[in-house]
Amino acid sequence: MGSTADKIKGKTNEVAGKARQAAGKAIDNHEEQAKGSLQEAKGKAQVAKGEAKDAVKKVVDRG
């Protein structure tokens, strides 16, 4: 997967995770809040992966 795709999927997971946390909080479901938190963290990791790929590509392109 390319860096842009990683970043898009990551942002999607971040937003979905935040929504899931909010839904869990609204219905007082701690398990759903935790799952949302994990999904948000997964999204942040995917975005970081995409950014790392961009950084590596820039270094490779220079050399």
Range of lowest pLDDT (13-17, 30-34, 36-40, 55-59): 55-59
- The closest of 13, 1, 5, 6 to 47, measured between CA atoms, is 6
Q: What is the DSSP letter of 3?
A: H
With 80 as the cut, is the pLDDT of residue 63 above it? no
Q: How do the domains of the chain map onto residue ranges? A: 3-62
What pLDDT, on the 0 to 100 scale, is given for residue 54?
A: 95
Portion of the chain with pLDDT greater than 90, in percent: 95
Token duo for residue 18: 């935040």
> Quick one: average pLDDT of 46-56?
97
With 90 as the cut, is the pLDDT of residue 1 above it? no
pTM for the full model?
0.89
Report the b/e string of 27-54 with b at 16+ CB within 10 A. Answer: eeeeebbeebeebbebbeebbebbeebe
| Residue that has been written with the tokens 């909010």 in this structure | 22
- The closest of 15, 10, 4, 12 to 45, measured between CA atoms, is 10
